[in-house]
Structure 1
Amino acid sequence: MVWFLGLGIGGLLLLVLSLVFDGFLEGLFDGLAGLDGLLSLPVVAGFVSALGFTGALVLGTSGAGAGAASGAGVLAGVGVGWVTWRFSRALLRDTNAPAPRGTDLAGSSGSVVTAVPADGYGEVLLYLGGQPVKYAARADRPVPRGTEVWVESVLSATSVLVRPVDR
């Protein structure tokens, strides 16, 4: 049982190392017969960990021998490895949403952080891709701090043209 627990703990340590060193040895098995990530460190760590812990569980709870515990561990390891591989492939293929750009701000709303004078720049807080971002803002008339504004156009990478929201 100690060997199985050692395999399970070793698999968890391997998983932690793969997360800490992020991609270290990741390309070692690339290009082998089209496996494409099947022998990645998280997949191997999941297999080894599931093999060890399942083997220890079967060995400790039933009267089965080491062979049966190893067989059950291998089956569980293959299952966990396959699920890990499929999940990582799904995450890597997730390219549907384009990255947000500053031009996406036109038509969005925000609030004035620093009052916008009629002849200069103030600051507005807008949300780009769900993240708050401050932009320099111009307006055709003075806009006081705290006013909700609507972005009419993007003037540059760091400035926008706004108008107050009429309610």
Structure 2
Amino acid sequence: MGWFLGIGIAGLVVLALGLLFDGVLEGLFDGLGGLDGLLSLPVVAGFVSMLGFTGAIVSGTTDLGTVPATAAGVAAGVVAGWLTWKFSQSLLHGGTSVTPRGDDLIGGAGTVVTAIPADGYGEVLAYLAGQPVKLAAKSSVALPRGSRVWVEAALSATSVAVRPVED
């Protein structure tokens, strides 16, 4: 049982080294095409730790012996290593949403919060990616506070051209 605990602790040490020296094993085994990510330090650490700790549990709680404890540890280690690899792949290749831009406001509805004089600026509350955004707004006609408007153009990052909604 002591050997298994030592192996489990060694896996935790490998994990700590993986945090300090990220990407070292990937660089060493870069030429082995299909093993990309499978020999990363987190995957190796997950395998070794699970092998050791599972072996210690089986050895300590049953009278099966070293070979069955090692077999159970290897099986659990393979599962832990595979899950670590899949989780890291999903984190690396998950992607992100496209960042919203001012042009995404065009065609959206808004509400005047500060009256807009004819050929002057006021303020509107519009929604960009579901979030309320208060912007300077210009209109060719005067619009009182509370008017509903459509965004016609994004003049800058903080201002838009609007027109009234016709009911």
Where on the TM-score scale, by shorter chain, does this alignment land: which range? 0.5 to 0.7
Q: How far has the Cα of 1:123 moved from its partner?
A: 5.7
Q: Which residue of 2 aligns with 1:46?
A: 46
Q: Is the 8 A contact 2:104 2:128 kept in 1?
A: no
Structure 1 residues 86-144: Cα deviation after superposition (integer angstroms, max 9, x where no partner): 332234333485443332232345566x625321243636333x5x4645331423453
Q: How far has the Cα of 1:164 moved from its partner?
A: 6.3
Partners of 1:88 and 1:58 in 2: how far apart? 28
Q: Normalized against structure 1, the TM-score is what? A: 0.68
Q: Normalized against structure 2, the TM-score is what? A: 0.68
The count of residues paired between Structure 1 and Structure 2 equals: 160
Partners of 2:166 and 2:11 in 1: how far apart? 60
Partners of 2:111 and 2:48 in 1: how far apart? 53
Structure 1: 5+ residue runs without aligned partners? none
**What letter matches 1:25 in structure 2?**
D
Q: Is the 8 A contact 2:108 2:126 kept in 1?
A: no
Structure 1 residues 51-96: Cα deviation after superposition (integer angstroms, max 9, x where no partner): 1221122112221223321222122111221222133223433348
Partners of 1:28 and 1:110 in 2: how far apart? 54
Q: Which structure has the larger Rg?
A: 2
Partners of 2:8 and 2:109 in 1: how far apart? 52
Structure 2: 5+ residue runs without aligned partners? none
Root-mean-square deviation (Å)? 3.5
Q: Which residue of 2 aligns with 1:127?
A: 128
Give 1 or 2: higher helix fraction: 2
Q: Which residue of 1 aligns with 2:26?
A: 29
